[in-house]
């Protein structure tokens, strides 16, 4: 239970931080597609008998390269959708080759937080430290580029490079969180709390801190509810994310009047 | 004759499930391609994908209740599409977020319903069937309903063709011309829901995006007029679907016993079409026009 709590807390902090940038950059689709496109890596790893994390990392990296390459030809969301099609087509192929994977598939997509072993703890801790450090170092340039790409270009931060860096940070946090909370829940955790935080304040630093706090509350609440009810964690993460966004909307609407 | 025998494995067309797959697959591919062209031009690829994923909650509920999965997919997709249009959010960033939040809630619901499926249901493979589809197990009884859904979607797009095209290329221009932009958007969203649920039935919820966006993106790189783009998209989608079914059927003979999944071959063919179209195309002016305006 302690392992679960530590890992879930790390995942929540990273998701809250990265989620803030997902929201200001309007990158919800990429935040959905990178994790979903990385699960074929896990299936391939089990096919080849290598470590699951290695497979996921390779597919995350391929996703970053694939999306940024396709963006040269297509607008952003079409490029993202095309990469999704490529990755999932490979995913179905790998799944059809390993018949026993149906149980593992559910865990990979929707997560199984209540079963974290101590051996999974170390890579998650290392990866989340890297993700937190990168986000902290890049906070100012990334924020500048997200808010006004023209201003950032004048200050010497090239837009395409920033997009690549942002996608890499997204991929890194995905690789870390995916084996623990599942491909679909990484996404819910990035979008729900951060979008609620943005509704409550216009100040970037406050929104950033609120986003991390909401994300922690969502994860802890979801684990507790899941433990009590025996229902999947993924359901509570999605529901709490939706609720916090709705609450934020309601509050923001009242403040405007 | 021998060469034909190599492509069309013996017994292909005499096989009932294959015939059902060919009919339903063609319907899904054609409707997805037509609706997809407008979806790409309007910059709503994310919404299209989100609808498919949310509809998978309906698919899982249908498994639980024992009703036709098409009805499940359809019900939730229509509900989500109506909801997103009803919220009527103009600001692009806010639209992205609302789509994301709806998607997150829908996925949570899918997780819960699939969990109930494994808990109480007899079918342990519900997750794979709902998310990745299984074309050769589509019941023949679904054909009339599937064709009716396809026809409704095509008629809906046909009746609003001109205003929809105008408002997809430039919403401001359409408004100035007296087009009812909101009603057009609503009809498009509902047609999108129909297309997505049909595609979710055939290639599965998370791959239906390939049928929706793939042929449309390929055709928009090739053609410089909307009408031609529609024709190309339909041809690409239809050919890829039938080609994928034939290849998957044949693959039972080349691989040791199991065969490879239909969805894999369909997406593979769509991607080949996209790459060829990119090489032959004139740079996708049509696809980018809407983007520059936003």
Which residues from chain B sit within 8 angstroms of residue A191, using beta carbons? 97, 100-101, 103-104
Q: A81 touching B, CB under 8 A?
A: yes
Percent of chain A whose predicted confidence (pLDDT) is above 90: 3
The pLDDT, as a whole number, for residue B232 is 92
Q: Tell me whether residue B33 is in a domain.
A: yes
Question: CA dihedral defined by A102, A170, B283, B39, rounded to 10 degrees?
Answer: 60
Instruction: Note the pLDDT tens digit of each residue in B46-82.
Output: 888 888 888 888 888 887 887 887 888 888 888 888 8
Other residues' Cβ atoms within 10 Å of the Cβ of residue B240: 28
Q: What is the mean pLDDT of chain B?
A: 81
Return d(Cα A244, Cα A250) in angstroms, integer: 10
CA-based end-to-end distance of chain B: 54
Cα distances (Å, whole numbers) of residue B15 to A205, B135, B140: 63, 13, 12
Query: What is the DSSP-derived secondary structure letter of residue B67?
Result: S
**B1 located within any domain:** no
Retrieve residue A198's tokens. 């943005």
- Residues from chain A that touch B100, judged by Cβ atoms under 8 A, are 28-29, 31-32, 187, 191, 195
> Can you give the pLDDT at residue B1?
43
- Other CB atoms within 10 Å distance of the CB of residue A143: 18
How would residue B138 be classed by pLDDT, with cut points 50, 70 and 90? confident
Minimum mean pLDDT range among A75-84, A189-198, A199-208, B82-91 = B82-91
Alpha-carbon gap: A191 to the closest alpha carbon of chain B (Å): 6
Question: Alpha-carbon torsion B81, B86, B90, B96, what sign?
Answer: negative
pLDDT exceeds 80 at position A62: yes
3-state secondary structure of B207: coil
Domain-located, residue B218: yes
pLDDT in tens, B33-50: 999 999 998 888 888 888
pLDDT band at B288 (very low <50, low <70, confident <90, very high): low
For residues A91-117, average pLDDT: 71
Of residues B93, B104, B112, nearest to A191 (C-beta): B104
Among candidates A33, A27, A5, which has minimal Cα distance to A194? A27
* A47-57 per-position pLDDT tens digit: 888 887 888 88
Determine the residue of chain A that is closest to B274 in CA distance: A82
Q: Is A247 on the interface with B (CB under 8 A)?
A: no
The verdict on a CB contact (< 8 Å) between A235 and B108 is yes
Residue linked to tokens 């958007």: B185
Out of A70-74, A207-211, B219-223, B281-285, which region has the weakest mean confidence (pLDDT)? B281-285
pLDDT digits (tens, 9 = 90+) for A137-180: 888 877 877 776 666 666 665 667 778 888 888 888 888 887 77
Give A35 to chain B, closest Cα distance, Å: 13
Q: Supply the pLDDT for residue A199.
A: 85
Verdict on whether the full-model pTM lies above 0.90: no
A75:B287 CB<8 A: yes
Residues 6+ apart with CB under 8 A from B228: B219
What mean pLDDT do residues B139-162 have?
A: 89
User: How many CB atoms neighbour CB A205 within 10 A?
Assistant: 11
Average pLDDT of span A235-249: 87
CA A199 to centroid of chain Cα atoms: 20
Res. B250 pLDDT band, cuts 50 70 90: confident
Question: Looking at the domain assignment, is residue B137 inside a domain?
Answer: yes
Residue numbers of the domain that contains B151? 10-280
- Mean pLDDT of the A85-111 span: 76
B189, part of any domain = yes
Contact between residue A174 and residue A74 where contact means Cβ atoms under 8 Å apart: no
Average pLDDT of the residues in A19-38 = 87
**Helix, strand, or coil (residue A231):** coil
For residue B193, what is the domain's CATH number? 1.10.3470.10
Identify whether B3 is part of a domain: no
The minimum CA-CA distance between A5 and chain B, rounded to whole Å, is: 21
Nearest to B209 among A31, A81, A90 (CB): A81
Q: 3-state DSSP call for residue B21?
A: helix
Q: What does the alpha-carbon distance between residue A165 and residue A197 come to, in Å, rounded to a whole number?
A: 23
Tokens read off for B83: 């909801």
A56: Cβ–Cβ under 8 A, 6 or more apart, which residues? A38, A39, A41, A42, A45, A174, A175, A178, A179
Residue B276 resides in a domain = yes
d(CA A29, CA A74): 15
Burial degree of B207 (CB within 10 A; 0-12, 13-18, 19+): buried
Confidence of residue A214 (pLDDT cuts 50, 70, 90): very high
A 10 A CB-CB count for B16 gives 9
| A85: nearest CA partner in chain B | B210
* Residues 225-244, chain A, touching B (beta carbon < 8 A): 231-232, 234-239, 241-242
Outline where chain B has alpha helix (H): 2-7, 16-41, 45-65, 69-87, 92-120, 126-132, 143-159, 161-169, 171-176, 181-203, 208-222, 226-254, 262-280, 285-293
In a domain, B4, yes or no: no
Partner-chain contact A32 B112, CB within 8 Å: no
Say yes or no to pLDDT of A182 above 60. yes
CB < 8 Å to B277, chain A: none
How many domains in chain B?
1
Give me the total of CB pairs closer than 8 Å, taking one residue from chain A and one from chain B. 179
- Burial class from Cβ neighbours inside 10 Å (0-12, 13-18, 19+) for residue B13 reads exposed
pLDDT of B287 > 80? The answer is: no
How large a percentage of chain B has pLDDT more than 70?
84
Sign of CA pseudo-dihedral B119, B125, B130, B136: negative
Q: Is the pLDDT of residue A224 over 50?
A: yes
**Helix %, strand %, coil % of chain A (to 5):** 90, 0, 10
User: B291 vs chain A: nearest CA distance in angstroms?
Assistant: 7
């Amino acid at each position: 239970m302690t392992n679960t709590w530590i890992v879930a807390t790390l995942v929540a902090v990273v998701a809250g931080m990265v989620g803030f940038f997902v929201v200001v950059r309007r990158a919800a689709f990429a935040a959905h597609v990178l994790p979903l496109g990385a699960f074929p890596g896990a299936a391939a790893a089990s096919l080849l008998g290598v470590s699951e994390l290695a497979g996921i990392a390779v597919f995350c990296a391929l996703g970053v390269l694939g999306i940024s390459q396709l963006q040269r030809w297509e607008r952003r969301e079409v490029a993202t959708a095309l990469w999704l099609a490529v990755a999932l087509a490979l995913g179905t192929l790998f799944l059809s080759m390993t018949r026993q994977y149906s149980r593992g598939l559910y865990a990979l997509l929707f997560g199984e937080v209540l079963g974290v072993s101590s051996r999974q703890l170390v890579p998650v801790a290392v990866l989340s430290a890297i993700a937190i450090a990168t986000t902290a170092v890049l906070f100012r340039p990334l924020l500048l580029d997200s808010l006004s790409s023209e201003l950032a270009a004048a200050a010497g931060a090239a837009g395409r490079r920033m997009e690549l860096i942002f996608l890499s940070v997204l991929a890194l946090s995905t690789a870390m969180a995916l084996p623990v909370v599942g491909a679909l829940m990484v996404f819910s955790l990035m979008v729900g709390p951060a979008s609620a935080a943005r509704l409550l304040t216009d100040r970037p630093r406050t929104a950033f801190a609120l986003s991390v706090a909401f994300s922690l509350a969502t994860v802890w609440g979801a684990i507790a509810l899941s433990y009590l009810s025996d229902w999947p964690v993924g359901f509570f993460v999605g529901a709490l994310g939706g609720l916090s966004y709705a609450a934020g909307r309601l509050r923001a609407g009242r403040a405007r009047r | 004759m021998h060469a034909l025998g190599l492509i069309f494995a013996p017994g292909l067309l005499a096989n009932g499930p294959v015939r059902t797959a060919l009919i339903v697959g063609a319907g899904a591919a054609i409707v997805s391609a037509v609706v997809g062209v407008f979806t790409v031009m309007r910059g709503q690829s994310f919404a299209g994908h989100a609808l498919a994923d949310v509809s998978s909650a309906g698919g899982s509920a249908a498994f639980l209740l024992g009703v036709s999965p098409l009805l499940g997919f359809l019900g939730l997709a229509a509900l989500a599409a109506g909801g997103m249009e009803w919220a009527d959010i103009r600001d692009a960033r806010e639209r992205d977020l609302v789509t994301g939040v709806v998607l997150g809630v829908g996925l949570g619901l899918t997780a819960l319903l699939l969990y109930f499926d494994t808990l109480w249901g007899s079918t342990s493979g519900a997750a794979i069937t709902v998310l990745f589809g299984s074309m050769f197990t589509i019941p023949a009884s679904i054909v009339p309903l599937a064709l009716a859904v396809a026809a409704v979607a095509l008629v809906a797009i046909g009746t609003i063709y001109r205003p929809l095209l105008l408002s997809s290329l430039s919403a401001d221009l359409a408004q100035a011309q007296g087009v009812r932009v909101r009603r057009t958007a609503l009809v498009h969203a509902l047609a999108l829901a129909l297309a997505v649920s049909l595609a979710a039935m055939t290639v599965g919820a998370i791959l239906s995006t390939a049928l929706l966006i793939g042929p449309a993106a390929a055709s928009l790189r090739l053609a410089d007029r909307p009408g031609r783009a529609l024709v190309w998209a339909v041809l690409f989608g239809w050919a890829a679907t039938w080609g994928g079914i034939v290849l998957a059927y044949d693959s039972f003979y080349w691989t040791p016993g199991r065969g490879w999944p239909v969805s894999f071959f369909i997406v593979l063919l769509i991607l080949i079409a996209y790459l060829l179209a990119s090489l032959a195309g004139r740079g996708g002016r049509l696809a980018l026009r809407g983007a520059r305006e936003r």
